[in-house]
Structure 1
Amino acid sequence: MAVLSTGPIENSPVSGIRPIQQVTVKIINRDLVNSSIVLIQGYFLNGIRTLYVLEQMALAPNTVTTKNYLADFDAYEFVFTTSGLAEESTDISVWGKNGNGEIIDVQRVVADEQLNS
């Protein structure tokens, strides 16, 4: 079982609007034979760490899935727990998007940058 975290991501308002309104999570299982399981936990951080996303999914071999979550908070964090026979072949990326759905590069986390908890 691997536990990966984005760490806390600052999203304070600029001119009254938070830069990130939505988070897109892409998960890929590169294993050609085995499935993996991913538990997604999203937290908003406002003095306390409050769980607002709790979702578990199974990824079939050689598949990709995309999930979108609200991120209109001053700070947030996502934690991913992967398991199953394809655990080591499962990669996750997190992309912050503005109100127009455009990716904001400064708020993206790809598999190689995630913190192992």
Structure 2
Amino acid sequence: MAILSTGPIENNAVLGVRPTQLLTVKAVCRNTVDAVAVTIQGYVLGTTRMLYVNELINIGPNEAVTRNYFADLDGFEFIFTTGSADAEAVGISVWGKQSSGQLVDAHRVVEQENVNPNA
């Protein structure tokens, strides 16, 4: 089993408005033959950690799926679980968005980035 996590994300209000109100999850299956299954769990982080999203999605070969979740919370964390055989075949990114749909850079979690342009 492979487990991926966003880690805790702080989303405290600034002037009465939280930076992120919507969280977009994009998942892709790079397998050209078999589908993969991914469990998505979202947690509200406050004085306790409470599950508020629990969804199993099946992603077909070479398919990409998008899910949107409520995120107008002071803190949250998302965990993605897939079978160990599927770990290399799945790519996941998470995007915080304002209610207008504009991306919140601080709440962006991607699979991999090349931070050195010369690499």
Q: TM (normalized to structure 2)?
A: 0.90
Alpha-carbon offset, residue 111 of structure 1: 1.4
Unaligned runs of 5+ in 2: 114-119
SS in 1 for 2:112: helix
Alpha-carbon offset, residue 85 of structure 1: 4.6
Q: Is the 8 A contact 1:45 1:77 kept in 2?
A: yes
Q: Take 2:44 and 2:55, find their aligned partners in 1: how far apart are those partners?
A: 15
Identity of aligned residues (%): 50
Q: Is the 8 A contact 2:44 2:77 kept in 1?
A: yes
Alpha-carbon offset, residue 48 of structure 1: 0.5
Larger strand fraction of residues = 1
Residue matched to 1:17? 17
Which letter maps to 1:107? Answer: H
Q: TM (normalized to structure 1)?
A: 0.92
Unaligned runs of 5+ in 1: none
1:14-53 correspondence to structure 2 within 5 Å: 14-53=14-53
Count how many residue pairs are aligned between Structure 1 and Structure 2.
Answer: 113
Residue matched to 1:3? 3
RMSD of equivalent CA atoms: 1.3
Choose 1 or 2 for highest CA Rg.
2
Once superposed, which parts of structure 1, at least 4 consecutive aligned residues long, lie more than 2 Å away?
Answer: 84-87
Q: Take 2:95 and 2:48, find their aligned partners in 1: how far apart are those partners?
A: 23
Q: Is the 8 A contact 1:12 1:75 kept in 2?
A: yes
Q: Is the 8 A contact 1:25 1:66 kept in 2?
A: yes
1:18-97 correspondence to structure 2 within 5 Å: 18-83=18-83, 85-97=85-97
Q: Is the 8 A contact 2:2 2:84 kept in 1?
A: no
Alpha-carbon offset, residue 84 of structure 1: 6.9
Which letter maps to 2:49? Answer: R
